[in-house]
Amino acid sequence: MKRLFCLLAPALMLMAASTNGYAQDNVLSDAEKEAGWNLLFDGRTLLGWNPRGGGAEWGVEDGTITAVAGRGPSYIGTTQGFVDFHIKVDFWTDEGHNSGIFVRGPANPGARVSQSTFYEINIADTHRSGFTTGSIVDKKVFEPAPKTAGKWNTMDITANGRDISVTLNGEKGLEIQDSTHYSGVVVLQVFGQGRVRFKNIKILEID
């Protein structure tokens, strides 16, 4: 009987984890695979990503893309570009951090990364111009202003033609119509102070 319990224990633990809604990081669910989602980060390497300038050293730690802020902003971007898409990203920052997710910008690693060359969806609980976390810098403010530092959060960005929307932790905070940028790569930023981490970076291209 004791031997039987030992053999069954791992299976019982797996069933309990499934019942509790546990989801493994950096892995697509069966439903996501069927819907056509793709992983942009495999949880182990920076395959598919290129540094885009700045002094911070990007790396992989505990299943996350991570870097510590240096003297100025630093960036890492996908090698693949996209047109219309829905992207989901989990992020965690230290207090006082000013990070961001940039979309639809130039693929050239030497090209400038800014709110004029990309759409910048900010990650900063304080911002001198009011474009706090979830806001599209110089376009529209995410409301209500969230508090995200020191915990895991999920950002959902949809870009379909001129229609762009941002959802944070399940709450849609803004929608805009804009034709400044129509395609390009995805870039992550480290800036401000402390560390930033990203994981579960998934994209669904829209036909």
pLDDT digits (tens, 9 = 90+) for 37-51: 999 999 999 999 999
Length of the chain: 207
Return the higher-pLDDT residue of 175 and 8.
Answer: 175
Chain segment 186-203, per-residue pLDDT in tens: 999 999 888 999 999 999
* Domain boundaries defined on the chain: 25-205
Name the phi and psi angles at 60, rounded to 5: -115, 125
- d(CA 124, CA 112) in angstroms, rounded, equals 21
Least Cα distance to 176 among 146, 140, 151 occurs for: 140
Please give the sequence-ordered ranges of beta strands (E in DSSP) within the chain, or none if there are none.
Answer: 38-39, 49-51, 59-61, 64-68, 74-78, 85-93, 99-105, 119-123, 153-160, 163-168, 171-177, 185-190, 195-205
Report, as an integer, the average pLDDT of 118-140: 94
- Mean residue pLDDT across the chain: 90
Architecture of domain 25-205: Sandwich (2.60)
- Its pTM stands at 0.88
Give 56's DSSP letter. Answer: -
